[in-house]
Structure 1
Amino acid sequence: MKVFTFDTMKANNQDFQSRKQLLSLMQRRFSLFGYEHVHTSVFEPYELYSQVAGTIAQDDMIKVIDPSGKVLVLRPDATIPVTKEVAKHYHGTAGHIRYFYMMDVFRQSFDGTGSKEKTQAGVECFGEKSAAIDGEVIALAVETLQDMKTPNFKIEVGHANFFKQLLTQLPINDTALKQLKTYIQAKNMTEIAPFLTSQDVPPYLVEKISQIPLLYGEPKTVMERAQNIILNDTMRKELDGLWEVYEVLCTYGVSEQIVFDLGLINHMNYYSGIIFQGFVDQVAKPVLMGGRYDQLAAAFGNTVPAVGFAIDAESLLEEAKIDITADLPGDITIIYETNKLSKALKLAGKLRNAGWRVITAEAVEQMPINSKQIIQLEASSSTWICGEQVVPFTTIEELEKLIVETVKKN
């Protein structure tokens, strides 16, 4: 039997609070870009996912049987059910539909830790296909990670159709294609050419596909190298479109966080255009994945252009160990002497109504204080303390001014 100690419970609570703050920051950023919160059922019909080819493997889904004998699955993906609902009601003159979600998703094989539940936060923008919209969504991804104070992150941008155009030229079966993708994803240049030659692939294609791992890095350099492997007008058009998106990102001022990767592979086959992944220091796998999926709504009887991304909240918190709570200015502790109880409670109530998180505590020796801001109410004076600043105040209005000025500086 697992025993929970006080220290374990305290650590778990700190993780929960950090996760809550993380999601709150994401929600604020998504809302600033005009997205509205949406939620879907935890239990979905098995057919919802099985009817969309190339998405969630059957063995990865967690299945249950309801009392009527119908097979249900715990929601393994957020994009598919959101797209289904949009497809059901969307019409061509609806304009942009912008949704964000923060939901748990469930799969059998997330990683080697045995965890079957992960929290995803993401956005889905429906209704328009353009470089401006693609650039806006990627810029939103960048700004969201910036809000997290994420160190040294990069967004790798590729194009699903550019890569698929190359693969359609290969005379190999699905098993060999899967192996080739593994080599390309690992950027294993020493294995690609011999493998393709063993599959009787024409030498000119071997040469072009062997260059794919080199198509990674600074966008302009990648674009120049990519000219050497273009096979048709479709590939040239996709490259031109990718560069248009990059120009939008330059306008947003986020180009320093962008690298191109034309060998980027996403195992969700519903992506049909631009694709991207976000990586941060200390985390080997992507913490953010997204792209354009204009054909997904067709599985539900409609045509709806769409682009979006999802963030793995656990990867940011558990693996990168990012301290979200420490960067927020909203915690205040009021320390009061016994005869100041009434004043302390009235002050706490007013600050809470103004949106602050306030803890009140009677002054005792050796009491641990975790707040960035402390208000001391003593018999003869009232003092506000923030870091090395110690400022006396006489009215609540003076105190509020001190707090607001501190927030602006931070």
Structure 2
Amino acid sequence: MTNKVYQVPYGTKDILPGEMKTRRGIENAIINVFDKWGYDEVKTPDFEYVDTFGAAGAKGDFRFFDRSNNLLALRNDMTAPIARLTATRLQGGEKIKRLCYLANLYRYEEIQAGRQCEFEQAGVEMLGASGAAADAEVIVLAAEALQAAGLQKFAISLGHVDFINGLAEEAGFDAAQLQQLKDCLRRHDAVGMQQMADAMENIRPEIKQLFADFLFLQGGIELLDKVAAIVTNAKCQGALNDLRKIYNLVDAYGAAGYLSFDLGLYRSLDYYTGMLFEVYLPEMGYPVAGGGRYDKMMQRFGLECPATGFAVGVDRVLLALERNGVVTNNRTWDVLVAWSEGKLPEAIAKATALRREGRSVKLLTEVADLQGAALAVKEYGCKSLVYVE
């Protein structure tokens, strides 16, 4: 006999009864929406060769060697494995492939509310489709998935990588300065952005002010017109036109009310090449979902293929619902079947019949009198009692 208390590893957690039932309901609701939109569910291994993740390999990924000394990593992102799967296993068939997934991911992070080293995502990837129509589809699909999960009040921030790249070109940035810019945007470093703006020379004052205000270039469709009147770079103008097209198509779906623009939006993964978006809730300071366009990732796997997609943080959805009092993780079943001495076979038959009717049933494993059975109904979280005597 040992008195040792066994703990789970840092950044992981047990999912208890009640919470797991709620989680499964949310998972099913999201996956059912993906299916309704024509997305096929796939599953990839929990660990892959490190090379699979390439530039998507997170700084805090979990790595280990197999017995043949191959370097492997626990899955830290789903986009790269889906790209590998498509390039190596799904080259035939439909020109445009719509794939979805539900998967656990692993990254070494400083844990806090809504952030663990092991976490679950549900997401989609549309491969083979370029243009605003595909981007609008995944944005609206993200909104519908969150609605199906039980969230109604959220906002979608929409940006574009080419606006950032184009503005850097207009300022004459070299590769190191561009990376510094992206790092400041990723960290939301307003002081760093102001310092970059102050250091600029021989540049129009309007462009210099855009850099100083980069983190605050947020607003509705009118923001695009305002900024378009300032910038002259073709890449910037193309990005703004692309955002207008996406907005109009999202509006055609009836979901433009969720959208606003954030021209300083830059996500933590570096494979995005076009539009990108994040979904925020009023009660959370971090995104509950996000995604974007990544047209060059498939080249690493030998395939030229435009792509776009997103992921929903299932753990964050659950946390938001709990904070809003939408879910309580209470466990209930329809019926408790109890039985008197010698009546177990009849009780088994009754429980079986009730289950075939679609009822959820718990069957007592020991004989009980009527009074004891009545007490057991509450203990076992059942709504009603069937007593066989």
Which amino acid in the other structure matches residue 315 of structure 2? E
Superposition pairs for residues 149-228 of structure 1, below 5 Å? 149-172=150-173, 176-181=177-182, 183-184=184-185, 192-200=193-201, 202-204=203-205, 205-218=207-220, 220-228=221-229
Counterparts of 2:92 and 2:28, CA distance in 1: 33
Residue 24 of structure 2 corresponds to residue 20 of structure 1: yes
Q: Single out whichever of 131-140 and 234-243 deviates more from structure 2.
A: 234-243
Counterparts of 1:91 and 1:2, CA distance in 2: 51
* TM-score after normalising by structure 1: 0.77
Partner of 2:374: 364
Structure 1: gaps (5+ residues): 380-410
Counterparts of 1:167 and 1:186, CA distance in 2: 18
Contact 2:321 2:327 in 1 (8 A): no
Question: What number of residue pairs does the alignment pair up?
Answer: 365
Which amino acid in the other structure matches residue 163 of structure 1? I
Partner of 2:357: 351
Counterparts of 1:270 and 1:185, CA distance in 2: 14
Question: 1:137 and 1:341, CA in 2 relative to 1: closer, same or farther beyond 3 A?
Answer: same
Counterparts of 2:329 and 2:256, CA distance in 1: 25
Partner of 1:388: none
Partner of 1:132: 133
* TM-score after normalising by structure 2: 0.81
Contact 1:193 1:206 in 2 (8 A): no
Partner of 1:294: 295
Question: 1:19 and 1:165, CA in 2 relative to 1: closer, same or farther beyond 3 A?
Answer: same
RMSD (Å), alpha carbons: 3.4
Counterparts of 1:251 and 1:163, CA distance in 2: 27
Counterparts of 2:329 and 2:117, CA distance in 1: 30
Task: For residue 96 of structure 1, report the CA deviation from its aligned partner.
Answer: 1.8
Structure 2: gaps (5+ residues): 8-12, 341-345, 365-369
Contact 1:88 1:302 in 2 (8 A): no
Secondary structure of the structure 1 residue equivalent to 2:64: strand
Q: Single out whichever of 254-263 and 315-324 deviates more from structure 2.
A: 315-324
Task: For residue 347 of structure 1, report the CA deviation from its aligned partner.
Answer: 4.1
Q: Deviations over 1:222-243 (max 9, x none)?
A: 2222223332333223222211
Partner of 1:29: 33
Secondary structure of the structure 2 residue equivalent to 1:283: coil
Residue 50 of structure 2 corresponds to residue 46 of structure 1: yes
Q: Deviations over 1:225-265 (max 9, x none)?
A: 22233323332232222112112211212122111111110
Contact 1:124 1:308 in 2 (8 A): yes
Q: Deviations over 1:326-365 (max 9, x none)?
A: 699x96512567589477425422233xxx5444678413
Question: 1:265 and 1:314, CA in 2 relative to 1: closer, same or farther beyond 3 A?
Answer: same
Contact 2:186 2:267 in 1 (8 A): no
